[in-house]
Structure 1
Amino acid sequence: MDFQYFQRDIEKFLQPWLAKREGILIYGARQVGKSTLLKKILDQYPESRYLSFDDPNVYTQALENPQGFLLQVSRGMKAIFIDEFQKVPGITLAVKHLYDTRPDFPKIFMSGSISDSLIAGGDSMVGRVMRFPLYSLSFGEYLNARGIKTRLEIKSEILEQTTMLMGEFNHYLQNGGYPATIYEDSQNLPIFFENLRRSFLEKDLLGRLRLGQIDNLPKLIVILAKRVGSPISYNSLGNELGLQIKSIKNLLSILEYSYWIEIVRPISKYGGEFKNKFKVYFLDTGLCNFLASGSEIGSKLENCIFGSLKRNSFNSNFWHTYAGGEVDFIIEENGQTTAIEVKVGKMTQNKLPVSLKNYIVKYRPQRAVVVNQNHFGEQKIDRTQVYWLPAYVFAQLSKSDFAGWTKPK
Structure 2
Amino acid sequence: MIERKLKVHLEGHWNEGKVLIVLGPRQVGKTTLLEYLCSQTGDYLLLNGDDPIVRQTLENIGEVQLKQLIGKYQTVFIDEAQRIPNIGLTLKIIHDRIKNIRVVVSGSSALELSSNINEPLTGRKWEYHLYPISWQELSQHIGFLGVKQQFEIRLIYGMYPEIINRLGDEEAVLKQLASSYLYKDLLNYNGIRKPEILSKLLIALALQVGSEVSYNELAQLLRIDRATVEQYIGLLEQAYVIFRLNPLSRNVRNEISSSRKIYFYDNGIRNALIGNFNPLALRNDTGALWENFLISERLKANHYNNSTTKAYFWRTHAQQEIDYIEERGGQMYAYEFKWNPKAKNKFPNSFVEAYQPVEKQLIIPDNFEDFLR
State the TM-score, normalizing by the size of structure 1: 0.81
Determine the structure 1 residue equivalent to 2:232. 251
Q: Does the CA contact (< 8 Å) of 1:113 and 1:259 recur in 2? A: yes
Per the alignment, do residues 116 and 107 of structure 1 end up closer, same or farther by CA in structure 2, a change over 3 Å counting?
A: farther
Deviates more, 1:216-225 or 1:358-367: 358-367
Task: Give RMSD over aligned pairs.
Answer: 2.3
Question: Which residue of structure 1 lines up, in the alignment, with residue 314 of structure 2?
Answer: 319
Secondary structure in 2 aligned to 1:270? Answer: coil
Name the counterpart of 2:351.
Answer: 359
Following superposition of structure 1 onto structure 2, how do residues 61-76 of structure 1 map, counting pairs within 5 Å? 61-63=57-59, 65=61, 70-76=66-72
- Residue in 2 that maps onto 1:184: 166
2:328 corresponds to which residue?
333
Query: Residue type matched to 2:217 in 1?
Result: S
Please tell me whether residue 372 in structure 1 is matched to residue 350 in structure 2: no
The match for 2:151 is 169
Q: Which structure's relative contact order is higher, taking Cα pairs within 8 Å and 6+ residues apart?
A: 2
Question: Is the partner of 2:210 in helix, strand or coil?
Answer: coil
Given that residues 58 and 90 in structure 2 are in contact (C-alpha distance below 8 angstroms), is that contact kept between their aligned partners in structure 1?
A: no
Counterpart of 1:157 in structure 2 is none
Contact 1:38–1:109 (8 Å) recurs in 2: yes
Q: Aligned equivalents of 2:62 and 2:233: distance in 1?
A: 30
Cα distance, 1:105 vs. partner?
5.5
| Equivalent position to 1:40, from 11, 18, 36 | 36
**Offset, 1:67:** 5.7
Does the residue aligned with 2:92 lie in a helix, a strand or coil? helix
Matched, 1:233 2:214: yes
Deviations 1:10-45 (A, max 9, x none): 112112101100010111000000000011111222
Equivalent residue of 1:182, what SS? helix
Q: Which residue of 1 aligns with 2:3?
A: 7
Matches within 5 A, 1:113-152: 113-115=108-110, 120-124=115-119, 125-145=121-141, 147-149=142-144
Aligned AA for 1:107? R
State TM-score, norm by structure 2: 0.88
Match for 1:299: what amino acid? A
Cα distance change of structure 1 residues 99 and 288 upon mapping to structure 2, 3 Å threshold: same
Aligned pair in 2 of structure 1 residues 210, 333: CA closer, same or farther (>3 Å)?
A: closer
Match of 1:263 among 244, 250, 253: 244
Query: 1:108 maps to which residue?
Result: 103
Q: Percent of aligned positions with the same letter in both sequences? A: 28
- CA shift for structure 1 position 119: 5.5
Shift of 1:253: 1.0
Partner residue in 2 for 1:56: 52
Residue number among 85, 91, 100 corresponding to 1:89 in the alignment: 85
Compared CA separation, residues 249 and 363, structure 1 to 2 (3 A): same
Q: Distance in 1 between matches of 2:98 and 2:52?
A: 30
Letter in 2 for 1:394: F
The residue identity in structure 1 corresponding to 2:56 is T
1:300 aligns with 2:289: yes
For the pair 1:345 / 2:327, whether they are aligned, the reply is: no
Label 1:170 to 1:67 Cα distance change in 2 as closer, same or farther (>3 A): farther
CA–CA distance in 2 between the matches of 1:116 and 1:219? 21
User: How far apart are the structure 2 equivalents of 1:38 and 1:166?
Assistant: 30
- Please point out which of 256, 266, 279 is paired with 1:274: 256
Shift of 1:198: 2.9
Q: How far 1:197 moved relative to its partner?
A: 2.8
When residues 284 and 365 of structure 1 are mapped into structure 2, their CA distance, relative to the original with a 3 A threshold, is farther
Larger CA deviation: 177-186 vs 117-126: 117-126
Cα shift at 1:227: 0.6
Is 1:289 aligned to 2:278, yes or no?
no
Unaligned segments of structure 2, at least 5 residues:
277-282, 304-308
Of residues 56-65 and 280-289 in structure 1, the stretch that sits farther from structure 2 once superposed is 56-65
